[in-house]
């Protein structure tokens, strides 16, 4: 149903097209045939031909019937209304002429498509060649129609043989000019509307100008063809209009140009028909023929002009466009080249290698920054342009001419450790050929300063040698292992100790070389070091391959980043040390035993020696007490015996104290010395009273002492002072003390940084010779006879021992008759 509808629509549209073409053709034909020559149906103005041709071109052959009907109807009505022929003949003649008219359009369509194979109706007049073919086509097709028409009316005796040429030419020219004007007009406007969407909008001044050109053409045509304003024959020449056509053709596009010419043509025809203007003096037919010729020539020439101008404009525009594109591309390319150049230049100059570029003649083309510097000459650029072998020696770039020539032949060459001709440096040189499309055009010499590297390598070698020397000359066994327990270091001592040469040890798995160590203990020990970075110390390990002991340190070996790369073991043979130590330990235990024996001896001495002595004393006393009859001599003997026994008891007691002072190490406690002095005073109360002694103690400090020993010390000193008092002079004993730093004293045995308690005990007694100041501290040393000053000679020896127990020093100063002073230093704080 729909298809039917579409088909119906197509047929309807076709029908309407036919009717439209027939109607328009008929109206145009009726208007034109009013101007026919001698009722011959030949008219110098025939726009229907142009219309018909345009329609055939646009809508195709299928609208030919429309033309046929239109032409037939128009001719028939003319024949009938003028009554030139009979009714049937009129139909026949009209048919022939209509067929001629239709054939004309069909032929034009055929010819134009032959002449222009890729015919595009939308831009038919964009080129002059197309306008030329179009004009040729118009001439030929008009010839067909006019020949058919004029022969028809001649054979129907409507015109005479004399009129035939005029009718033919009129007919031909009329058709031709109709085609030239109307077809062109229709197709140009059709092309414009078909292209309207893409067209550039007309600028304001163009619009104003187009109004001006329209006014100008109307005015000019009016003056020339209608005798407007001034009726003067000088202004009746048609060429007055030409400049305005040229103006339109030059300044506007085809549609404006053709419109201006069309308006002007219509005005000109109207004027000529009314016997006005240029051709007014001629008969109407001649005037119209002249006008049509004028119009045709104008259309063809001005359209050619316009097309040429448009073509040139287009060409200029596309040239400009191409130029702009080209410029853009050139700019882009230039930028790329600049960037590329900058890139290459930067690399060239920022290279730390010296680079020389030499051409085929070994002329220096370019050198980079570092090369200029490395040449070490005042104007390094001066070598540019000079040949390599002509350069002065001191500005010689690194390299050899032979290598350069080889490189210029296309070979890449590498040289290492080349000494510089101008400095102490060493270079590594690369010769690199540079190619372009014609082959090698230059060569690069790239010289890298490797002085530092060579120096570094040398130092590294020396360091390595030094390190190896250190390891080799070590008196200790030095070995190292990597992660796979492979031996990486093995020194001379290791060789000797293990009876294995370095070359046989290096790289071997230590646990395979020494299976006796391949147990969990040693594996986990090395793992601790290698995997966990721990350091191990084995103070005493027994050798497995020979008698003896070693002390071993196993530490991780780290690289510069701190990563553990292996384990280092350093072992020293401590066999002698161990033996010595064990001998020492033996001696020590002997000593302890001896000491124990000694103290038991002291005990025996104290107890068992005193026992008989006490009895001698007791029995002798009982005798003297109970026996009254003893002689004076016996009594004296008994008295002496008692004295001797007493002295011996004293001696034993003092010896006992002395031996105890050495063996008993008491506890140190902080104590006020004043308290000790008071205790001593209490103990010696009887002696003090008896001797009228005075004890002055002041400013006593407190310090760390062994109380019972210190009491003994002061007891000995004070009782000495009482004992050695001068005859008739009551003893005055001064005890004082103060703190002092070790380095402030003159005594060399005191430690500099330690605080000491400085204690003095001085008296006003008999004193002693300064020569004895050291001797008096010796055991059993006495300066006086037993009867004068009783004593055992042990007391001061005990004092010295006590002070030594306190890590102090004691010394005595004295002069005979003036008294004695005992000076002591003991540390204030325990050690």
301 binds another protein (CB under 8 A): no
Euclidean distance between CA atoms 376 and 382, whole angstroms? 12
Residue 685 found at the interface with another protein (CB under 8 A): no
546, 622, 640, 747: which one binds another protein (CB under 8 A): 622
| Residue 607 sits in the site that holds another protein (CB under 8 A) | yes
354-359, strands of its sheet edge to edge:
364-367, 354-359, 439-449, 426-436, 413-419
Smallest distance, another protein to C-beta of residue 644, A: 15
Q: Is 682 in the site for another protein (CB under 8 A)?
A: no
Is residue 593 involved in binding another protein (CB under 8 A)? no
- Using a 10 angstrom Cβ sphere, with 0-12 exposed, 13-18 middle and 19 or more buried, the burial of residue 604 is exposed
How many Å is the maximal CA-CA distance in the chain?
233
User: At its nearest, how many Å lie between another protein and the CB of residue 611?
Assistant: 6
- Shortest separation between residue 656's beta carbon and another protein, angstroms: 8
Assess 615 for contact with another protein (CB under 8 A): yes
Please name the residue that has the structure tokens 């793992």.
527
Identify the residue among 587, 614, 786, 815 touching another protein (CB under 8 A): 614
Query: For the chain, what's the residue count?
Result: 831
Cβ 625 to another protein shortest distance, Å: 8
By CB under 8 A, residue 610 contacts another protein: yes
- 320 touches another protein by CB under 8 A: no
Cα–Cα separations (whole angstroms), residue 784 to 718, 719, 724, 820 = 18, 16, 10, 15
Pair 716, 798: CB distance under 8 Å = yes
Instruction: Supply the minimum distance, in Å, between the C-beta of residue 714 and another protein.
Output: 18
In the bound state with another protein, the residue whose beta carbon lies nearer, of 308 and 599, is 599
Q: Is 451 in the site for another protein (CB under 8 A)?
A: no
Q: Is there a contact between 737 and 698 (Cβ–Cβ < 8 Å)?
A: no
- For residues 415 and 642, which CB has a smaller minimum distance to another protein in the complex? 642
- 618 near another protein, rule: CB under 8 A: yes
Report the relative pairing of strands 732-741 and 694-698 from DSSP bridges.
parallel
Regarding 621 and contact with another protein (CB under 8 A), the answer is: yes
Nearest to 295 by CA among 303, 283, 284: 303
Asked if 376 interacts with another protein (CB under 8 A), we say: no
What is the rounded distance in angstroms from the CA atom of residue 148 to the CA atom of residue 472? 132
List the beta strands (DSSP E) in 676-818: 694-698, 702-705, 732-741, 755-762, 809-815
Contact segment (CB under 8 A) with another protein among 41-49, 608-616, 629-637, 770-778 equals 608-616
DSSP state of 486: B
Site string for another protein, 628-667 (x = CB under 8 A): ----------------------------x---x-------
The footprint of another protein on this chain (CB under 8 A) covers a number of residues equal to: 15
CB of 634 to another protein, least distance (A): 20
Q: Site mask, another protein, residues 224-243, x = CB under 8 A?
A: --------------------
Give dist(CA 775, CA 786) in Å, integer: 18
Q: Segment contacting another protein (CB under 8 A): 475-483, 574-582, 613-621, 627-635?
A: 613-621
- Give the DSSP H/E element, type plus range, for residue 415: strand 413-419
The SS3 call for residue 391 is coil
Q: Binding to another protein by residue 603, rule CB under 8 A?
A: yes
Task: Determine the interface stretch with another protein among 9-17, 84-92, 97-105, 610-618 (rule: CB under 8 A).
Answer: 610-618
Does 606 sit near another protein (CB under 8 A)? yes
Both structure tokens of 816: 């005979």
Which H/E stretch holds residue 477?
strand 477-481
For another protein, the closer of residues 300 and 605 by Cβ is 605
Residue 57 CB partners (closer than 8 Å, separation 6+) = 108, 109, 112, 121, 183, 187
Task: With CA atoms as reference, report the closest residue to 531 among 551, 506, 557.
Answer: 557
Which residues form the interface with another protein (CB under 8 A)? 603, 606-607, 610-611, 614-615, 617-618, 621-622, 625, 656, 660, 708
């Amino acid at each position: 149903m729909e298809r039917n509808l579409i088909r119906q629509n197509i047929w309807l549209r076709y029908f309407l097209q036919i009717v439209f073409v027939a109607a328009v053709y008929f109206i145009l034909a009726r208007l034109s045939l009013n101007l026919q020559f001698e009722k011959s149906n030949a008219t110098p103005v025939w726009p229907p031909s142009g219309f018909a041709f345009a329609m055939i071109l646009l809508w195709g052959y299928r609208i030919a019937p429309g033309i046929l009907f239109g032409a037939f109807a128009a001719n028939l009505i003319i024949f009938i209304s003028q009554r030139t022929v009979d009714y049937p003949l009129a139909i026949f003649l009209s048919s022939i002429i209509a067929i001629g008219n239709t054939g004309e359009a069909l032929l034009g369509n055929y010819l134009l498509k032959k002449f222009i194979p890729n015919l595009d109706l939308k831009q038919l007049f964009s080129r002059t060649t197309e306008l030329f073919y179009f004009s040729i086509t118009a001439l030929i097709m008009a010839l067909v129609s006019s020949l058919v028409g004029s022969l028809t009316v001649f054979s129907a005796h409507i015109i005479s043989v004399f009129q035939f040429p005029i009718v033919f030419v009129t007919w031909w020219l009329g058709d031709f000019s109709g085609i030239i004007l109307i077809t062109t007009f229709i197709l140009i406007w059709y092309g414009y509307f078909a292209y309207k969407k893409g067209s550039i909008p007309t600028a304001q001044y163009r619009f104003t100008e187009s109004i001006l050109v329209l006014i100008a053409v109307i005015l000019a045509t009016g003056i020339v063809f209608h005798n407007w304003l001034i009726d003067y024959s000088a202004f009746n020449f048609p060429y007055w209009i030409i400049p305005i056509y040229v103006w339109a053709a030059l300044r506007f596009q085809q549609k404006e140009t053709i419109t201006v010419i069309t308006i002007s043509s219509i005005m000109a025809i109207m004027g000529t028909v009314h016997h006005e203007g240029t051709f007014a003096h001629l008969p109407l037919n001649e005037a119209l023929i002249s006008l049509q010729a004028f119009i045709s020539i104008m259309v063809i020439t001005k359209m050619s002009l316009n097309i040429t101008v448009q073509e040139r404009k287009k060409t200029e525009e596309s040239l400009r466009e191409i130029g702009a594109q080209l410029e853009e591309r050139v700019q882009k390319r230039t930028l790329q080249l600049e960037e590329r150049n900058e890139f290459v230049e930067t690399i060239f100059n920022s290279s730390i290698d010296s680079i020389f570029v030499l051409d085929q003649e070994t002329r220096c083309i370019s050198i980079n920054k570092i090369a200029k510097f490395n040449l070490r000459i005042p104007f390094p650029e001066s070598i540019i342009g000079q040949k390599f072998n002509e350069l002065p020696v001191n500005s010689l770039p690194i390299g050899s001419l032979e290598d350069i020539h080889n490189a210029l032949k296309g070979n890449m060459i590498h040289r290492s450790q080349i000494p510089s001709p101008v400095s102490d440096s060493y270079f590594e040189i690369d010769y690199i050929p540079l190619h372009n499309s014609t082959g090698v055009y230059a060569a690069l010499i790239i010289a890298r300063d490797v002085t530092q590297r060579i120096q570094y390598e040398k130092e590294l070698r020396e360091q390595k040698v030094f390190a190896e020397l250190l390891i080799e000359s070590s008196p200790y066994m030095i070995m190292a292992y990597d992660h796979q327990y492979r031996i990486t270091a093995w020194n001379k001592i290791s060789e000797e100790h293990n009876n294995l040469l370095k070359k046989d040890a290096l790289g071997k798995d230590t646990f395979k070389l020494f299976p006796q160590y391949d147990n969990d203990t040693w594996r986990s020990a090395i793992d601790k070091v290698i995997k966990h970075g721990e350091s191990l110390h084995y103070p005493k390990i027994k050798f497995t391959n020979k008698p003896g002991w070693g002390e071993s340190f196993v530490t991780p070996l780290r690289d510069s980043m701190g990563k553990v790369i292996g384990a280092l073991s350093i072992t020293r043979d401590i066999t002698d040390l161990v033996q010595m130590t064990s001998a020492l330990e033996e001696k020590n235990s002997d000593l302890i035993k001896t000491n124990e024996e000694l103290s038991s001896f002291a005990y025996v001495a104290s107890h068992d020696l005193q026992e008989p002595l006490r009895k001698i004393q007791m029995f002798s006393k009982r005798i003297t007490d109970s026996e009254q009859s003893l002689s004076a001599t016996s009594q004296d003997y008994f008295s002496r015996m008692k004295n001797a026994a007493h002295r011996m008891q004293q001696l034993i007691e003092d010896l006992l104290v002395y031996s105890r002072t050495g063996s008993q190490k008491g506890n140190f406690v902080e104590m006020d010395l004043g308290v000790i002095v008071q205790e001593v005073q209490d103990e010696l109360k009887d002696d003090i009273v008896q001797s009228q002694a005075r004890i002055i103690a002041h400013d006593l400090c407190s310090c760390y002492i062994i109380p019972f020993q210190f009491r003994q010390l002061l007891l000995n000193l004070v009782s000495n002072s009482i004992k050695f008092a001068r005859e008739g002079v009551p003893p005055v004993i001064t005890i004082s003390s103060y703190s002092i730093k070790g380095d402030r004293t003159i005594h060399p045995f005191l430690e500099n940084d330690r605080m000491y308690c400085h204690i003095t005990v001085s008296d006003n007694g008999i004193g002693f010779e300064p020569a004895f100041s050291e001797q008096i501290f010796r055991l059993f040393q006495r300066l006086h006879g037993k009867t004068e000053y009783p004593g055992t000679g042990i007391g001061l020896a005990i004092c010295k021992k006590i002070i030594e127990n306190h890590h102090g020093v004691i010394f005595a100063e004295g002069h005979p008759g003036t008294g004695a002073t005992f000076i002591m230093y003991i540390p204030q704080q325990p050690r």
